[in-house]
Amino acid sequence: MDFASSSADFAYENELDLSSLMTPSTFIPFQEPNPSIPTIHCAGAENDGRQRIRETTTTDEIITNEDVEPKNKKAKRREIERHRRQEVTSLFGNLRYILPSQYIKGKRSSSDHVQEAVNYIKDLEKKIKEISLKRDRIKRSLSHSSSTGECSIRSLESSYCSCDGDTHINVKLIVCTSVGTDHVDLPECNRRGIAVTNAGGAYSEDVADYAVGLLISFLRRIPAADRYVRSGKWVRCGEFQLGIKLSGKRVGILGLGSIGSLIPYQYYPDVVSLAANSDVIILCCALNDQTRHIVNREVMEALGKKGVIINVGRGGLIDEKEMVKCLVDGVIGGAGLDVFEKEPGVPEELFGLDNVVLSPHAAMATPGSLNNIAQLTLANLKAFFSNQPLISPVRLD
């Protein structure tokens, strides 16, 4: 599609509809009228704000080609330009998240401006293609090395490998952008002398805020109140049900790391006694062999019918199947869940419950947290390559 071929100006309006992506169709080509056709119907031609409609019914009323041809060309050109404006507007609206803001905001009207955007997209496509080719090459190399036993690192980029035995690896540092390291084999890293870092306190404040937000959302039934208004029940049924007071609640925290330590606490020796002396349990500890399903049915029964579970740690900390049963049967009062055992899968039974607040693992999702982790990652890499102590090392023993 050649945008530059048009000599007409295009009007780009502010605040375009950017709801979906689409591929614009090819512009309608201009076609010369056929002079061999004796009978001509001309409708919708404009002249000084008036419309004239001519329709031939007899040979006496036939309009000559010479009379109609200029008007016919003018009408067709207007129609072509109308289609072009519509399609360019749609294209730019749908490419809002690809093009820089100068191509979208404000009113621009030259076809040169369109060509600049097209060139930008072509460059972007070229870069994407290069990345895809590199990815495919790496996949082929890994597939080949796994079948032949050859070191994948050596086959890709290096002639030297420092690994022992038949298993080859050339990794000296693993930088995790998450707080949890349950996806890393820490004992094996320790055996091989591989250093590991995690997010440390990069997310702590935002995740702690989110835990409190989930608790308040459940107790005051904020999501349920939102649905109540949107569904029209407020108009039909009147006042919404009462919420639960937060002040005075006993909150137990399972996990006193960088997140849990930001909330005041009193120590209990085991999870069951913590639940028995709490109205709310907030889970923010690491997931490992010792903490998997640490909140089981016994803990939930100790928490009681009015008890609330808030999980901003890992889904595997809770026995999810038992939690669903306890929520449905009223063994516990409710839950605020930002994490699940098999993400992004969520037990369907939870969707119909009003005593649950669900969130898509978004507790740390703020610009501040993402900036923190970017800075921390760079600092760890800089320290590693400078033979300095790592900023947020993970204990491997």
One pLDDT digit (tens) per residue for the chain, 397 residues = 434 333 333 333 333 333 343 344 333 344 444 444 444 444 444 444 444 444 444 444 445 555 556 677 778 888 887 877 777 666 666 665 556 665 555 545 455 666 777 777 778 778 888 888 877 776 666 565 545 544 444 333 333 444 555 455 678 999 999 998 988 999 989 998 899 999 998 998 999 999 999 999 999 999 999 988 999 999 999 889 899 998 889 999 888 765 555 655 677 889 999 999 999 999 999 899 899 999 999 999 999 999 999 999 999 999 999 999 999 999 999 999 999 999 999 999 999 998 999 999 999 999 999 999 999 999 999 999 999 999 999 988 7
Overall CATH class of domain 204-358? alpha beta
Structure confidence by residue, pLDDT tens digits, 310-351: 999 999 999 999 999 999 999 999 999 999 999 999 999 999
**Token pair listed for 82:** 């109308």
Q: Is 204-358 in the same CATH topology as 171-201+367-397?
A: yes
Domain boundaries, the chain: 3-109, 124-167, 171-201+367-397, 204-358
pLDDT at res. 397: 78
CA distances from 109 to 2, 139, 245, 281, 342 (A): 16, 45, 58, 59, 50
Q: What is the DSSP string of 261-306?
A: GGS-----SSHHHHHHT-SEEEE-PPPSTTTTT-B-HHHHHHH-TT
pLDDT at res. 203: 92
- Residues with a catalytic annotation lie at 314, 343, 361
pLDDT at res. 103: 56
- Secondary structure element (H or E) that encloses residue 131, with its range: helix 111-148
pLDDT at res. 301: 97
CA distances from 145 to 50, 168, 333 (A): 76, 10, 53
Asked whether 278 and 310 are in contact (CB, 8 A), the reply is no
C-alpha to C-alpha distance for 113 and 101, rounded to whole angstroms:
13
Q: Tell me if residue 334 falls in helix, strand or coil.
A: strand
**Token pair listed for 140:** 């082929």
Q: Domain 171-201+367-397, what fold?
A: Rossmann fold (3.40.50)
Residue 295: closest CA among 275, 276, 312, 280: 275
Structure confidence by residue, pLDDT tens digits, 219-251: 999 999 998 899 999 999 988 989 999 888 999
Residue 396: closest CA among 193, 159, 203, 164: 193
User: Can you say how many angstroms the Cα of residue 70 is from the centroid of all Cα atoms in its chain?
Assistant: 54
- Secondary structure element (H or E) that encloses residue 226, with its range: helix 222-230
Question: Tell me, what DSSP letter sits at residue 393?
Answer: B
* Burial bucket for residue 88 (CB in 10 Å: 0-12, 13-18, 19+): buried
C-alpha to C-alpha distance for 259 and 275, rounded to whole angstroms:
19
